[in-house]
Copies of this chain bind each other. A is one copy, B any other.
Amino acid sequence: MSKLSCPQAWRLYVVTDENLSKGRSHVEVARRAILGGADVIQLRDKTAPSGELYRIAVALKKLCLDTKVPLIINDRLDIALAVDADGLHVGQDDMPASVARRLLGPGKLLGVSTETPEEALLAEKEGADYIGVGPIFEARGTKADAGSPKGTIMISPIREKCRLPIVAIGGIKSGNARSVLEAGATSVAVVSDIVAADDIERAARGIKALLI
Contact = CB atoms under 8 A, between A and B. Distances in A.
Interface of A: 49-52, 54, 75-79, 81-82, 90, 92-96, 99-100, 103, 145
10 contacts: A50-B93, A50-B94, A51-B94, A76-B78, A77-B77, A77-B78, A77-B81, A78-B78, A81-B103, A82-B103
* Copies per complex of this chain: 2
Contact of A50 (B49, B52, B81, B95): B95
B49 A93 contact: yes
Nearest to A145: B49
A78 B95 contact: yes
A169 to B, nearest CB: 18
Nearest to A75: B50
Nearest to A77: B78
Contacts of A103: 78, 81-82
A52 B75 CA distance: 12
B99 A54 contact: yes
A111 to B, nearest CB: 15
Contact of A99 (B82, B90, B96): B82
A209 to B, nearest CB: 36
